[in-house]
A = this chain, B = another copy of it.
Amino acid sequence: SKSYNITLLPGDGIGPEVISVAKNALQLVASIEGFEVAFEEMPMGGAALDAVGVPLPAETLNSAKKSDATLLGAIGGYKWDKNEKHLKPETGLLQLREGLQVFANLRPTTVLPQLVDASTLKKEVAEGVDLMVVRELTGGIYFGKPRGFGTNENGQEIGFNTEVYAAYEIDRIARIAFETARKRRGKLCSVDKANVLEASMLWRKIVTALASEYPDVELSHMYVDNAAMQLVRNPKQFDTIVTNNIFGDILSDEASMITGSIGMLPSASLGAAGPGLFEPIHGSAPDIAGQDKANPLATMLSAAMLLKYGLGEEKAAQRIEAAVLDTLNRGFRTGDIHSAGHKLVGCKEMGEEVLKSI
């Protein structure tokens, strides 16, 4: 029978709690669908800083590279917030993305009917929202050079970064976005700041040039400031959004908050070949770490994305997705999504209920 190696990176804060729950779910659906999963748990982020002094140990990156897919919990915490850049947990995450060359970050935002009241948006605005942000993840201002500190011609201290995109980087992320849109509702909105930035002008040119290869996809363009508005005004207008690294960071977080339940939202980061990286979009929530209060469903759904996009085990993925919905339908809620009339449970119990549903 087929067998997969999965690297688990519990990370910091609530990371270990949500990973342990998702691991059980992966194990269970594997046994039902008749394939094997072997896990390798590796340190990453603050945990790795504390253990070995770097946020991404070489062994961790190697494990992720050799495996069939990687599931990450969360990284970061107050403790390491003032660290120098190369000793920040976040730097480890960026190194992992770069090391795995996962340039395409898929972030679905779905308002579930069961949770529509969790949104701060009016019901008629929030209900039915179902969009996907395709964010470029290994380029742009996150990685562009030159970067650093220095002095300008007047001897003034400066800090600087470079927003840079090469045509091939735009082309490959745009193709993923067109293909994603094609499998969804066939609408792609490319977000840039082409009225000001040259990097965005090239972005728009390359995306536009691809449109003829995807005649079944309706392409539109929007400036990033307008997109930030439209996500609040009428998020239902969006199907698939494609954008650069920094705009994607901002807009995907804004979009996720439309659901009011970011404890529910997964993400997948994919490369041209090689293993993908899967993680919930929420952070490490140090304030509730170790208290069995975390919502493990975003990590469950990330495990489902891992099965689908990472291993091609679509049926197993659907089992997890269906079980998450069933568990919600049976009334179980963690604190972050709890409302009157529902059963308040902790991270572990929520995990067990999902296993029952599976």
Contact = CB atoms under 8 A, between A and B. Distances in A.
Contacts of A121: 120-122, 232
A154 B158 CA distance: 29
A147 B152 CA distance: 16
A193 B246 contact: yes
Interface string A142-162: 101001110010101111111
A226 to B, nearest CB: 7
A115 interface: no
Nearest to A117: B122
Q: Quickly give the copy total for this chain.
A: 2
A161 B253 contact: no
B202 A229 contact: no
Interface string A43-72: 000000000000000000000000000000
A321 interface: no
Nearest to A256: B229
A231 B201 CA distance: 29
A82 to B, nearest CB: 10
A225 B249 contact: yes
A218 interface: no
Contacts of A233: 120, 257, 260
A64 B257 CA distance: 42
Interface in A234-257: 234, 246-247, 249-254, 256-257
Contacts of A193: 246, 249
Contacts of A230: 257
Interface residues of A, number: 63
Contact of A160 (B144, B167, B250): B144
A161 B144 CA distance: 10
Which of A122, A159, A165 has most chain B Cβ within 10 Å? A159
Given A161-B163, A167-B157, A198 B229 contact: no
B228 A251 contact: yes
Contact of A166 (B88, B158, B246, B257): B158
Interface string A99-126: 0000000000000000000001110010
Interface of A: 76, 85, 88, 90, 94, 120-122, 125, 141-142, 144, 147-149, 152, 154, 156-168, 193, 195-203, 224-226, 228-234, 246-247, 249-254, 256-258, 260, 262
Given A120-B121, A157-B202, A160-B164, 13 more contacts: A85-B198, A120-B233, A120-B234, A121-B121, A141-B163, A142-B196, A149-B198, A154-B166, A158-B202, A159-B203, A160-B165, A224-B249, A229-B257
Going nearest first, the 9 A-B pairs with the smallest beta carbon separation are: A159-B202, A228-B254, A160-B164, A225-B253, A229-B257, A156-B166, A232-B257, A159-B199, A157-B167
